Amino acid sequence: MDDYALSFWIYMGVMAVFVTGTLKRFLAAHVSAMPSLLAWLGATLLVERLCALCMPAVLALAALCAACWLYAAWAAPAPTLPVEGKAVFITGCDTGFGHATAKRLDALGFEVFATVLNLEGQGAKHLRSSCSPRLTLIQVDITQPQQVQQALITTTSKLGMKGLWAVVNNAGVCVNFGDAELSLMSNYRGCMEVNFFGTLSVTKAFLPLLRQNKGRILNISSPSGDQPFPCLASYGASKAALNLFTNTLRHELEPWGVKVCTILPSAFKTGQSSNTEYWEKQYEHLLQNLPPSLLEEYGEEYLMETKELFQSHAKTACEDLSPVVNTIVEALLATHPQARYYAGPGVGLMYFIHSFFPSSLSESFLKKLFMKKTVIPRALRKQNGMTLLNHNNNDISSNNNNITTITTKHPE
């Protein structure tokens, strides 16, 4: 009986170690590590079966020791490269990820070249006052090739023979509002100019320096470039182009020793995302530029709900940018950086569902996660004999709180 009790508790210990390891890999959720995750799950099931077959206490104890040793070896931090002598060029440092990354890398001892749109802006002033003299601020609009070339000349002249270790392509915009049909052509062009062509211009300009130093390229992308997020067609299309370019570049630069990584953040408060006035201007601009016939078919109440959902989503986004900054640092200093990094809460689980579940379930998950639309386009309501009522059953588009319900009119 005592031997059985000992075996039972050792069995529970072994299972705890393996299940904990499995959960840790799942929560990390790097899709590139899925084979390892599946192998870990297989090992868990194997140990569970062996223990279920009443393995002797001594053998179970040996298995527990081996499991603990393997877990400790696996959980040990990977060796990193030294910071000394490494220079990094970062775009889009006025605010958000770029600003926070420039400060962190400077504090770690990197020589940082930080680009901003405005050298007299608040972001640039804050970097000047809070960072060391190693940090160099350069005014660059990445959609202007001559400014990119001037940034290359400035960086090269200051580096001398030292070379450049990495480029962090962070600059990006999301000039988007509404469904794919409702998004203006200027939105599509604006996103592509910055998120794709601007990043492409910087990458091509700085590649000779990176090849010379066997350095790294880190592109800050978005899950919307891989998955069909509702109402993010223009932004997602530009990030999809960036993702394909990054993956192609990674294969092509492998013989040169240049590592190329994609950083995929979850939702964070950056740039104008939490600015109520910004969303109001976007909404008014859309109303003024949509064809009247299209506006009539969708209805202002449909656009209003979309704006409010974007605002609500922005308010709930994470303010702590450290998960992304930490991931950038990891990618810069890892001896063997991963092709893709998933930074922030929930994004790993989202990719796990996208990669291993049916597309219908994955897309349903995205709709519930991001844009829980309840208002139906006006033309569809008319086709289905519906009217939009408020809670007092008055025929108006929305009440003062913008709370609406859909009610079907039945024949008398």
Residues recognised as catalytic: 235
H, E, C per residue of the chain: CHHHHHHHHHHHHHHHHHHHHHHHHHHHCCHHHHHHHHHHHHHHHHHHHHHHCCCCHHHHHHHHHHHHHHHHHHHCCCCECCCCCCEEEECCCCCHHHHHHHHHHHHHCCEEEEEECCCCCHHHHHHHHHCCCCCEEEECCCCCHHHHHHHHHHHHHHHCCCCCCEEEECCCCCCCCCCCCCCCHHHHHHHHHHHHHHHHHHHHHHHHHHHHHCCEEEEECCHHHCCCCCCCHHHHHHHHHHHHHHHHHHHHHHHHCCEEEEEEECCECCCCCCCHHHHHHHHHHHHHHCCHHHHHHHCHHHHHHHHHHHHHHHHHCECCCHHHHHHHHHHHHECCCCCEEEECCCHHHHHHHHHHCCHHHHHHHHHHHCCCCCCCCHHHHHHCCEEEECCCCCCCCCCCCCCCEEEECCCC
Q: Are 303 and 288 in contact (CB under 8 A)?
A: no
Q: From CA 106, how far away is CA 129, in angstroms rounded? A: 12
Q: From CA 142, how far away is CA 124, in angstroms rounded? A: 16
> How many Cα atoms occupy the beta-carbon half-sphere of 334 within 13 Å?
20
Which tokens is 396 given? 């108006």
